[in-house]
Amino acid sequence: MSINQFNQYKNKEAGILETNPQLRPKNVQKVSSVPQAEKWRSIILGEVSSKLTQINDPTTNDLRLRELNDELNKLFKEKRAWEYRIKELGGTDYIIQKNDMIHTGFNIAGWRYFGRAKELPDVKKMIEDKKKPATKKAPKRKLDDFYYGKIEDDKELQDYESERLKELLEHYNGEIKLSELPTNDQLNKWLVDKKRQQLMQKLGL
């Protein structure tokens, strides 16, 4: 056992809480004392407060803003881990509290942006895009079908065939020559032309 470990053991036995941030365990399960877990949470809150002050400082440059924002996200994650551990050990339930400092940040896909980090050009654009109301997209099936040439089930084509057949029946008094019936190529060409006209009208051309 090293001198440092021996001192930690003696401090623990004497009920003295560890306060050195460098000795804060990454695994909260290693702490079985509510007072020690509370102490680590308190230290993290102090670090969070300091970094929030820096990230709101108008003299902080963009690179440092990004670094501070990343550090704050990690600290809030660590703080929450200690809060779950404190609750697990029978201590205060911080999970149900609403006035958490994390809510000062803007949440985008699970990552929060704090203070002046929200003013960074790329972050600002993401925030503006998220605030825009979702627009309902018009169905694309008919346009896509026309674009890809899927016209075999088109109702207009069926109507056209019926009208054309009716005209031919009236013209020839029921005696129809096969050569007078429209070919598939003629029908397709008519439908494509009609669709093109409708599309140009919609586009104002």
Q: What is the pLDDT of residues 23-73, one digit of tens each?
A: 999 999 999 999 999 999 999 999 999 999 999 999 999 999 999 999 999
* Digit-coded pLDDT (tens) for 84-129: 999 999 999 998 877 778 878 899 888 999 999 999 999 999 999 9
Rounded Cα distance between 53 and 76, Å, is 15
Question: How would you class 67 by CB atoms within 10 Å of its CB: exposed for 0-12, middle for 13-18, buried for 19 or more?
Answer: middle
Global pTM?
0.58
pLDDT of residue 102: 81
At residue 148, the pLDDT reads 43
b or e along 169-188 (b: 16 or more beta carbons within 10 Å of the residue's beta carbon)? eeeeeeeeeeeeeeeeeebe
pLDDT at 133: 81
Determine the straight-line distance between the first and last CA of the chain, rounded to whole angstroms. Answer: 85
Residue that wins the pLDDT comparison between 180 and 56: 56
Query: Tens of pLDDT along 135-161?
Result: 666 555 444 444 444 444 556 656 666
Give the other-Cβ count within 10 Å of 85's Cβ.
21
Burial class (CB in 10 A: 0-12, 13-18, 19+), 198: middle
Query: What are the structural domains of the chain?
Result: 3-131 (1.10.287.660), 141-203 (no CATH)
Average pLDDT rounded to a whole number, residues 200-205: 63
